[in-house]
Structure 1
Amino acid sequence: MLLPVIAGVDGLAESLAAAEWAAREALRRDRPLRLVHVWDWHLGSRFGRGHDGEPANAAQRHLALRVLQQAEERVRCAVPGVLLTGEQVEGPATAALLKAAEQAELLVLGSRGLTGLAGLLVGSVAQGVVAKATRPVVLVRTGEEAEDEHVLADDGSPSTRTGYRDVVLGIDLADACDEVIEFAFEEARLRRTRLRVVHAWQRPSAISMGPGDIGLVNDPARGEEWQGFLAAVLAVWREKYPETEVLETVVEGKASTALVRAASAASLLVVGRRLSERPVLPRIGPVTHAAVHHVCCPLAVVPHE
């Protein structure tokens, strides 16, 4: 049985954008799409719940059904060819979405980053899911449209008839992981577009140097060494995906800065997240954190051992 692409929907603009993106991704992967809306009975007091709780639950279920129907109508209109189902589940949201992700090819959520109070609240759910999910999670911003994934037409106008923009993979060569690399190559293959692989390095400081590093502080060949290392890591993947054009980019500087810059012209940014030995702590790492809050294109966070 094929695992579905799952999108979490809550009626807000960013979740509707995420649902549409998830529908397009489901078609690319030839997978069904499942829309999931989470409602939390603990919020029932705002509806004037009686002593047995039934009036509140009925009101919540009615609102949940409306949210789900709105998302389904939006998806069917935008991506009519996708095989679509909808489901209501009881919250809290982070726990429910994490459970749904376990049965998903990937989970797609809306994200506002840090724009205002609502953005912080939405971000707390998205960030909590990203920090603990064992399956890939894609975050999609409000306003994301199908044409945003494509290069501009010859006249400079947005179009879905042009080729896809690059898929960008942020890679840490000190912790390169096959699951993350394969995910990025597969996304580029599905779009028949170029994969741009970005590694950022920084010169060691006098404090961080080991005993044998003192002569390498001003080594002008350090960037070339990283370039050769990156080529070696990607060699096997080039053989596995011979039709995918790969652009290797090695830059000196902060990884978060390099990825935000590279993602400005991308259809998708892919980063990895190491599975924590203590999954109770919702930590995603500084580079992923920066990408979640500052990258405008869809962001795929791929967990790995």
Structure 2
Amino acid sequence: MSVRSAHGRPVAVPEEGEVVVGKQGGVQESAEVLRVAFEAAAARKVPLRAVRAVRAVRAWSLPPVYGYSPGSMWIADQFGGPEPYEKAAPEQALEPWRVKYPQVEVVAHMEQGSAGHVLLAAASDAQLLVVGRRVRESAMGAHIGSVAHAVLHHSACPVAVVSRP
């Protein structure tokens, strides 16, 4: 198979290795990206690595049930704070796809760092890297985002960029 980079140069596609997907957002936000990644892994008969980058300094988004009263924050602290919620979100998004593609071995991978760096490192020996991009228009035209831009220009393997609303 002939694959070319963003610069038009040929890219070597390894015959072994996994499919890596950049996991971001909840169940609905990541559905299309995960569909493409699971289909690719199933077709290639290789494992899928679902990668989520976590920044060292993180502003937590609490579930709506907690609100922001001192009493509800105390309850959140009793259950380990927002961290368990943050760790459970990727698993919730992967679950329907694990059921639909039981033949695909899935490795969930969370790592601290910028999304671009974490994805590039995880995909260093991959057959394919799948990332999403929000469709955003600006005065200068469509914007692909920093993560998609980084992996398109620096990935050692082919990259699939999946648009999402």
- TM-score over 0.5 (shorter chain): yes
Distance apart, 1:232 and its partner CA:
1.1
- The answer to which structure has the higher strand fraction is 2
Supply the distance in 2 between the matched residues of 1:228 and 1:191 (Cα, whole angstroms).
28
Compare relative contact order (CA 8 Å, sep 6+) and give the higher one, 1 or 2.
2
The 3-state SS of whatever aligns with 1:149 is coil
Supply the distance in 1 between the matched residues of 2:38 and 2:115 (Cα, whole angstroms).
20
Task: Return 5+ residue gaps in structure 1 as ranges.
Answer: 1-18, 22-108, 113-121, 123-141, 151-163
Distance apart, 1:277 and its partner CA:
4.5
Supply the distance in 1 between the matched residues of 2:118 and 2:82 (Cα, whole angstroms).
17
Supply the distance in 1 between the matched residues of 2:49 and 2:37 (Cα, whole angstroms).
9
Task: Return 5+ residue gaps in structure 2 as ranges.
Answer: none
Of 172, 178, 185 in structure 1, the residue corresponding to residue 31 of structure 2 is 178
Q: Which deviations, in whole Å up to 9, do the C-alpha atoms of 1:134-186 show, x marking residues without a partner?
A: xxxxxxxx3423xx422xxxxxxxxxxxxx31100001125732111100000
- Determine if contact 1:165/1:265 at 8 Å carries over to the other structure: yes
State the one-letter code of the partner of 1:111: A
Higher-Rg member (1/2) = 1
Is 1:144 aligned to 2:126, yes or no? no
Alignment of 1:204-219 (within 5 A): 204=58, 212=68
What percentage of residue pairs aligned between the two structures are identical?
33
Aligned equivalent of 2:6: 111
Alignment of 1:197-276 (within 5 A): 197-202=50-55, 203-204=57-58, 212=68, 224-276=84-136
- Determine if contact 1:226/1:250 at 8 Å carries over to the other structure: no
Distance apart, 1:189 and its partner CA:
0.6
Supply the distance in 2 between the matched residues of 1:227 and 1:166 (Cα, whole angstroms).
23
State the one-letter code of the partner of 2:24: D
The 3-state SS of whatever aligns with 1:261 is helix
Supply the distance in 1 between the matched residues of 2:46 and 2:81 (Cα, whole angstroms).
31
- Determine if contact 1:223/1:252 at 8 Å carries over to the other structure: no
Distance apart, 1:252 and its partner CA:
2.2
Is 1:188 aligned to 2:48, yes or no? no
Change (3 A) 1:221 1:189: farther
- Determine if contact 1:173/1:199 at 8 Å carries over to the other structure: no
How high is the TM-score relative to the length of structure 2?
A: 0.77
The 3-state SS of whatever aligns with 1:270 is strand
- Determine if contact 1:223/1:250 at 8 Å carries over to the other structure: no
State the one-letter code of the partner of 2:2: E
Runs of 4+ that moved beyond 3 A: 208-212, 220-225, 277-280
Change (3 A) 1:188 1:279: farther
Supply the distance in 1 between the matched residues of 2:17 and 2:53 (Cα, whole angstroms).
21
Q: CA RMSD in A?
A: 3.1
Is 1:168 aligned to 2:20, yes or no? yes
Supply the distance in 1 between the matched residues of 2:127 and 2:110 (Cα, whole angstroms).
20
Aligned residue pairs: how many?
A: 153
